[in-house]
Structure 1
C-alpha cells in the first residue's frame, strides 16, 4: 500500500511493515533514558579524557535515543516515513558502537596484567576486533540505508534486510571470538600468576573493588549485546512483516531492554572511575597507584 500516508479504513495499521502502533510509553522511556546516557557519557568522557570510549558510547547512545524518537513518531502515524527511516538505521547500528567500546578494554587489561600470556600483541586486539566492528557497521549501514530508501518497495526492503542480517551475523561472530580470546587470556594469566606476584599495576587492580565492578559491568553489557544480536538474527531472517518482527514485546525486551542494560552498565561503571587505564590521565593516576603500592610492599596478591 505505497499510497498510504495515514491509518484509515483503506489503509489499516496491519498494512504497515510492523503491523502495530509502537507503544508510546515504552518507546518514550527508551528515548529519554538513552538521551540521559548520552549526556552522562559525554560529561564523564570529557572529565576523565576517555576520548575513544566517549566517541563510541556517545554516538551509540545518541543513535538509540534518535531511533526510539522515530518509533514515537510512528506511534502517532505508523506510516510515517521519516520515523521509519530514523528507527531502522539508528537501532540497527547503535549496538555495534557500544560493542566497540567494550572491545577497547581488552588491550588495556592485557597491558595491566602482562602481555606474556597473550597470544597476540595488545595493539592487535584493537585492530582485529574494532576492524570487525567497523565491517559489521558498514554492512549494516548499507543495508539500513537501502531498507530506509525502500520503505514502499518490497524488493529494496528485502535487499536491505539481507545485508543487515549479514552485518549482524558478522557482529555475533566478532562477539563470540572476543569472548573466547578474553577467556583464553584470563585462564592462561591466572595459571601463570597463581604462585608468583602480579606486575605492580596488576597487583593494584586485582585488589581494587572498583575494577572488579568494572569487569562485572563489562561482562553484563557484553552478554546483553550478544543476546540482542542473537535475537535479531531470526527476526531479520523472517523478513519484513515476519512474525517476530511484528511482535513488539519481544523487540522491546530483547532489543531495547538488552541495549538499555548495556548502556546503563557502561555508564554507571565508567572506566574513568572504575578502570582509569582507559583514560588519557592514566600516567598521573599510575603515579598515585605506585605511591599506594609502596605502602603495601609486603603484600603479594595473586590470582589464587
Structure 2
C-alpha cells in the first residue's frame, strides 16, 4: 500500500463513512434528548460526537488526497480529543447521582468539588494533548515529532491516572451507599445502581481506549498500530460509539441540577 509523508496507509472510505454515520446518528439522538430534557451536563457528549463526525469525515477526504496535510491534522486532533469531552460528562454524572440520592456524606471528597477537580483536570488533559497534537502537526524533524508524541503521551497517561482516582471515588461512594441506603436511593422510580453500572462501563471503555492510545504513541511511527488502520476502529471508534450509546440513558429528571 502506498505510503506518503502523512499516512502510513490509504484510509478506507467505507469504514470512515460507516463510522461517521454511526456517530452522526448517536449525536443527533443526544441533541434531541438534551433539548427535550435540558440535562445540560450531557452537552460535552454532543460536542465530542461532533468531533468524531468531523474527524472520521476527514479520513474520507484523506483517502482522496493523501498528500494534503489539513485532513490528516483534523482527523488526528479531533479523534484524539473527543473522549476527553465524553469523560467530562462521566465525571458530572457522578456528582448528579450523589445529589439525586442525597448521599453527599458518603463521598470521600466534597461533592461541590467533584466537578471542579475532575472536569478541571479533564480540561488540563485536553490542553496538553491539543498542544502535543499541534506540535506533531507542525513538526519538521524527527526530534520535534518525538517531542509532540511525548506531550501527547503525558496527556494520555495523566488522563488514565485521573480516571483511576475518579473510579476510586465512585467505588467508595457505591460501597457506602449500598451498605447504608438513603431514603432517596430507595426510591422505586430511580435505580441509582443502574446508573453506577453505566458509569463504570463508560469509564472502562474510555480507559481501555486511552491505554490503546498510549501504546500506539509509545510504539512510534513504525509501530504496528500506526501502520495498520483496523486498530483505530476497533480500539477507538467502536469503544467511543458504545460510550455515546450507553449515555443515551442519562437523560432523566433526577439527573438535572436543582
TM-score (norm 2): 0.92
Q: Could you say which residue in structure 1 is the equivalent of 2:208? A: 227
1:147 correspondence with 2:136: yes
Alpha carbons 1:17, 1:241 under 8 Å: kept: no
Give the distance between the partners of 1:263 and 1:248, measured in 2 at CA: 22
Q: Does 1:138 align with 2:121?
A: no
- Residues 1:80 and 2:57 are matched in the alignment: no
TM-score (norm 1): 0.79
Q: Give the aligned partner of residue 185 of structure 2.
A: 202
Give CA-to-partner distance per residue, 1:225-275, whole Å, 9 cap, x none. Answer: 1110011111011223422211211221001111111112112x1x223xx
- What CA RMSD, in Å, does the superposition of the two structures yield over aligned residues? 1.9
SS at match of 2:207: helix
Q: How do 1:119-134 residues align onto structure 2 when only pairs under 5 Å count?
A: 119-134=108-123
Q: Distance in 1 between matches of 2:73 and 2:237?
A: 17
For residue 45 of structure 1, what is the aligned residue in structure 2?
Answer: 34
**1:277: how far off?**
2.5
C-alpha deviation, 1:153, in angstroms: 4.2
Residues 12 and 63, structure 2, Cα contact 8 Å, conserved in 1: yes
Aligned partner of 1:261 in structure 2 is 242
Provide structure 1 residue ranges, at least 5 long, that are not aligned to the other structure: 1-11, 284-304
1:41-71 Cα deviation digits (max 9, x unpaired): 22211111112322x1111000011110111
Divergent runs of 4+, >4 A: 209-213
The number of equivalent residue pairs is 257
Between structures 1 and 2, the one with greater helix share: 2
